[in-house]
Amino acid sequence: MNAKHKTLFLAIIAVIFTGLGLQAQNFPTGRQMDDPTKRDTVRSIAPYFIQAKKSKKTPDAQGFIQRWLLLEPIDKPNRSNTVFTDSYIREAFTTEYFPGQFTVLPKKGEKVKVGEQMLTWHALESTNFNVKLFRFAYGLHKQTYGVLFWAVTVVNSPREMQNVRMAVGSNSASMWWLNGEEAVILSGDRRMVMDDCVSPRLTLKKGKNIIRGAVINGPGMSDFCVRFLDEKGEPVRDITISYK
């Protein structure tokens, strides 16, 4: 029984959606948590994100990249995620929504206009291995369903690294580029699983490498996780992550 089915069921028994108002939660994530969870009174992206710092940041112990520039969600209505075929998402992700979408490294606080929406780039660090886009949108009072997110980060490599792979999990479909080249695409109604889809062998050049990603979702929680794997399948950790 998933959320969609449950919602239908609730509709049948005439229970109207309530309680999705202005409250958010405020409990620590991780294996242990308290229950019942206290309702908070102010929406916030905490504790899922902190503002990105300027200090050196490496991937976490498993190699996941936690520092990202995230654009507030683009309105992309989809009542179901079953439409996310390869051709659909390739078209959705190669559409230009804002100038410089595939070329410019956005700046923290920069605004872009997408249709009638004025959206802001946020420089954030996820407190989890994954980037919870649903919480990002919810905490900022933005729409959470029927959304398309853009994410950008900069990987600084101390040397050229050949034959690495970008490993991605996302909810729902997503597409990822390294230095302007398509790296990996995740089609379908996906749940986020670490290392779900892995790119062909790539080269991280010495110095700056730009990762761009786009995640699309209809109903449900949106999130992603990204890391690089070396030739032995081990996480690449001797890189640093910045947003400039």
Partner 1 sequence: MKSGIKISGITALLSVILTGTVAAQIGKPFIHDPSTIMECDGKYYTFGTGGGGLISEDGWTWNSGAVRPGGGVAPDAVKIGDRYYISYARGTGGHASEVYVMWTKTLDPESPDFGFKDETRVAFSDGIEDCDAIDPGFLLDPTDGRLWCCYGTYFGYIRLVELDPKTGKRVEGNEAINIAIDCEAADLEYRDGWYYLLATHGTCCDGANSTYNIVVGRSRNVTGPYLDNMGRDMLTGGGKMVLAARNRVMGPGHFGRFIVEDGVEKMSCHYEADLDLNGRSTLGILPLLWKNGWPVAGENLREGTYEIESERRGYSLELVVDFVRMAGGMRGFGRNANEPVKPVPSQELADVIDTWPTGNIGVRIGDYMTRPHQKWTITPAPDSSGYLGGPYYKIVIAGTERALAATADAEVITVPEFTGAPEQLWRIDQLTDGTYRIMPRVVPNSDKKLALISIGDSTPTLAEFDMNSDNSKWNFRAH
| Interface positions with partner 1 (CB under 8 A) | 1-6, 8-10, 13, 15-20, 23-25, 27, 29-37, 39-40, 80-82, 129-130, 169, 171, 188-189, 191-196, 220-221, 225
The CB-of-9 to partner 1 minimum distance in angstroms stands at 6
Residue 176 · residue 185 · CB < 8 Å: yes
**d(Cα 243, Cα 107) in Å, to the nearest integer?**
8
Q: How far is the CB of 65 from partner 1 (least distance, A)?
A: 14
Looking at the Cβ atoms of 115 and 233, the one nearer to partner 1 is 233
Decide: helix, strand or coil at residue 64.
strand
3-state DSSP call for residue 146? coil
Nearest approach in angstroms of CB 152 to partner 1 is 23
For residues 125 and 195, which CB has a smaller minimum distance to partner 1 in the complex? 195
Which of residues 20 and 96 has its CB atom nearest to partner 1 in the complex? 20
Shortest distance, position 208 Cβ to partner 1, whole Å = 28
CA distance 180 to 166: 14
Cβ distance to partner 1 smaller for residue 9 or 102: 9
CA torsion, points 76, 82, 85, 90, in degrees to nearest 10? 20
- What's the CA angle centered on 120, arms 149 and 39, to 5 degrees? 75
